[in-house]
Amino acid sequence: MEDRQGGQEYGEGVPQGIDTPMAGPETEVTQSAAARAGLALAGSALLGLVLMNSPLAPGWDRLLRAAWGVHLGPLHLVESNLLWINDALMALFFLQVGIEIKREWLFGALADARARALPVAAALGGMAVPAMIFVAINAGHAKALAGWAVPAATDIAFALGFMALLARGLPPQARVFLTAVAVLDDLGAVLIIAAFYTEKISGPMLGASVAVVLLMVLLQGFGVRRAWPYLLLGVVLWGFVLKSGVHATVAGVLAGILLPQTREGGAGVRVEHVLAPFVSWLILPLFALANAGVQLGGSGLALLGHGVAWGVALGLVLGKPVGILAGVGVTVMALGGLPPGYSWRLMLPIAAFCGVGFTMSLFIAGLAFGSDLQAFDAAKIGVLLGTVLALTAGALITRRLYPNARAA
């Protein structure tokens, strides 16, 4: 049966697991908050660019590279300010990501096995095609190929924020589906980080990390529902994972997944409510400020011709939507149609906005090219260019297909 916008319902017996909330005051408040957070993130990235292209650049660089640390018995942690932001503060962002993944999987758009098929296929296609575009552009350059995963991730905060800002009036299903795809995207990015961007492994530290995870699982088995034991163990887990050679942000995701949740709330939701304003207004803007800066004049401008820059930019603005739509198409053929309330007309702007890879793409670029400053700067330029083009495409497609939608 056709829906009002040309989509088809799933065949008989397919559960309607993807939520389709009605628009209302709560949706408006959520969209406004997301738009403000997106603007804060964009403003911080712009400030980072200004700092790196001003007379303050040398001092700003020294500040980011200034090292300090803590010494607790046998544990010695000495990092630069940049690495404290990327390894420690971003672990809190990934803690929130872990909580979101668990909530969506248990109670949200991914709660039903059949309902997972559409966003899972979209996320897989949206990661595979950008990676293939990057590899095709950089084939024959072994060092450049280390960045194959940079355009594979969607930035959930930036994408949702600017969709709320630039495409206000899209049906609320757009936010639900983009959230589900981005959550799965984040999970895929974490797995990629753990599998492909891991340094030399320390067996004892990895074993200690596994022991802490098992202890957290035991707490769940014994019915411990308070947040503080999990958070305390999460800090210990972060330290062990950092020293194990696996990137420390993986500890944040694991801790978030292991925090107890119920449909009514639970420790995970309480922690997320406390974390959310700090992540949106402090951690992500600080990450953007510290990581988005790249010199745009002279040699910096010449990086626009670098294969890494074009591999990332085209992977985001073209690869993401093509991969997502291909994944959706395969699933629609297998299941007999789109869920109620969804249509190909709606999928087009969602797929375009999924090309916003800002935070996670910059994060992976730092892991891939941390010691190759030229390739790292080229990746930053590609991320910024691809993100701006994806936002522009999303806004234009929305305006074309949904004339009544408006910018905030």
**CATH number assigned to the domain comprising residue 143:** 1.20.1530.10
Which residues have C-beta within 8 Å of that of residue 164, sequence separation ≥ 6? 30, 31, 32, 34, 35, 38, 175, 408
Determine which of 108-122, 271-285, 368-382 has the lowest per-residue pLDDT on average: 108-122
Name the nearest CA neighbour of 323 among 132, 109, 149: 132
SS3 for 71? strand
Total domains present in the chain: 1
Residue 269 located in a structural domain: no
Whether 7 shows a pLDDT value over 50: the answer reads no
Residue 150 located in a structural domain: yes
What domain range is 355 assigned to?
33-50+116-188+284-401
Q: How far apart are CA 393 and CA 386, in angstroms?
A: 10
Residue 359 located in a structural domain: yes
Averaged pLDDT of the chain: 84
Q: Output the DSSP codes for 232-263.
A: HHHHHHHHHHHHHTS-THHHHHHHHHHS--BT
Q: Say what the pLDDT of residue 300 is.
A: 63
Determine which of 69-78, 89-98, 136-145, 260-269 has the lowest per-residue pLDDT on average: 69-78
CB 77 within 8 A of CB 70: yes
Whether 11 shows a pLDDT value over 60: the answer reads no
Residue 248 located in a structural domain: no
Residue 89 located in a structural domain: no
Higher pLDDT, 293 or 309: 309
CB 245 within 8 A of CB 199: yes
The secondary structure of residue 294, as a DSSP letter, is: -
Residue 297 located in a structural domain: yes
Residue 77 located in a structural domain: no
Within a 10 A sphere around the Cβ of 214, how many other Cβ atoms?
10
Which pLDDT band holds residue 345 (cuts at 50, 70, 90)? very high
> Residues in the chain, how many?
408
Write out pLDDT tens, residues 390-401.
999 999 999 999
Determine the angle formed by the axes of helices 90-107 and 249-258, rounding to 10 degrees: 40
Residue 26 located in a structural domain: no
The secondary structure of residue 281, as a DSSP letter, is: I
Residue 167 φ/ψ, nearest 5 degrees: -135, 45
Q: Say what the pLDDT of residue 140 is.
A: 85
CB 138 within 8 A of CB 375: no
Q: Say what the pLDDT of residue 327 is.
A: 95
pTM for this one? 0.82
Q: How far apart are CA 76 and CA 333, in angstroms?
A: 55
Write out pLDDT tens, residues 96-105.
989 988 988 8
Q: Say what the pLDDT of residue 30 is.
A: 64
Write out pLDDT tens, residues 62-75.
999 999 887 766 66
Whether 232 shows a pLDDT value over 80: the answer reads yes
Give the mean pLDDT of 87-93.
90
Give the mean pLDDT of 144-151.
93
Q: Output the DSSP codes for 385-397.
A: HHHHHHHHHHHHH
User: What residue ranges in 7-51 does DSSP mark as E strands?
Assistant: none
